[in-house]
Amino acid sequence: VQLQASGGGLVQAGGSLRLSCAASGQPFSPYTVAWFRQAPGKEREFVAAVRGSGGTTHYADSVKGRFTMSRDNAKSTVFLQMNSLRPEETAVYYCAARRGLILSALRSSNEYHSWGQGTQVTVSS
């Protein structure tokens, strides 16, 4: 599956952004899709995921209550609504996908086979 991320931009601290990840090439509904982010000089870190089977969502502790991930299988698109953004969340945000991903593996970037190109999110203080 091919992924195209969009929606990044510059926002002030406390503001909101909505990222989108559009998929093509394969039936979308069986895929687990996740968002990761990578700041300069830092490791890529898990942000959120939505499973293909059942559509359950999972979040990093640092974003719980502020970020919401959702999917529209009819449009082969997932969304990440980010509220109350913080300057330390400035990073390139990537979407990733894989079929048949078990629950214990969904937070590991190494488990994903397909990646979007990334979208820059900059949060100013």
- 75-122 pLDDT, tens digit per residue, is 999 999 999 999 999 999 999 999 988 888 999 999 999 999 999 999
**Whole-number pLDDT of residue 55:** 87
Relative to beta strand 91-99, strand 9-12 is unpaired
**Whole-number pLDDT of residue 103:** 87
Residue type, 57: T
- Produce one character per residue of 30-53: b if its CB has 16 or more CB atoms within 10 Å, e if not: ebbbbbbbeeeeeeeebbbbbbbe
- 21-62 pLDDT, tens digit per residue, is 999 988 889 999 999 999 999 999 999 999 987 789 999 999
**Whole-number pLDDT of residue 100:** 82
- Output the CA–CA distances (angstroms, integers) from residue 73 to 76, 96, 105, 109, 121, in the order listed: 5, 15, 22, 22, 25
**Whole-number pLDDT of residue 62:** 97
What is d(CA 66, CA 64) in angstroms, rounded to the nearest whole number?
5
